[in-house]
Amino acid sequence: MTLIFEEKWDRTIADRDRKMYQDIYAKHPIQEGKLQFIPVRIALNHRNDLLASVCIVNGRDDWKLEDRLLSYFEQNTLIAEKRFTHELTVQANTAVPWTFIFTPETMVRQATLQNWKISD
């Protein structure tokens, strides 16, 4: 069971953020047969893109992001959905930090940035 930083993240992540992800991973161990998106940070950028940073904790077989529809919920209400095309693979029994970007056209409601989760 390992926390893995994607190559670009590994080169650019600040030490305090690396430590934060290590702490999150320590508090949310891999659960056999379960894929978890542990919420870390949420924000809107200057283009009104929704930036949802998570730690993907994979207790299943290899999980591929490519061509996967993911949903962003707040208080169990759908706020945004997007089909992602990145070639990210989260290997079995590993965890990977990732930021999902939901553009304004993928949002069906205004985000409040509270009580949120990502779901596949």
Q: What are the residues whose beta carbons fall under 8 Å from the beta carbon of 83, sequence distance 6 or more?
A: 67, 68, 69, 70
pLDDT tens-place string over residues 61-119? 999 999 999 999 999 999 999 999 999 999 999 999 999 999 999 999 999 999 999 99
pLDDT for 1 equals 55
Q: What is the pTM of this model?
A: 0.93
57 beta partners: 36, 95
Tell me the pLDDT of the chain averaged across its residues: 95
Q: How far apart are CA 3 and CA 57, in angstroms?
A: 9
Question: Can you read off the two tokens belonging to residue 13?
Answer: 């992540």
pLDDT for residue 13: 93
3-state helix, strand, coil in the chain (%, to 5): 20, 45, 35
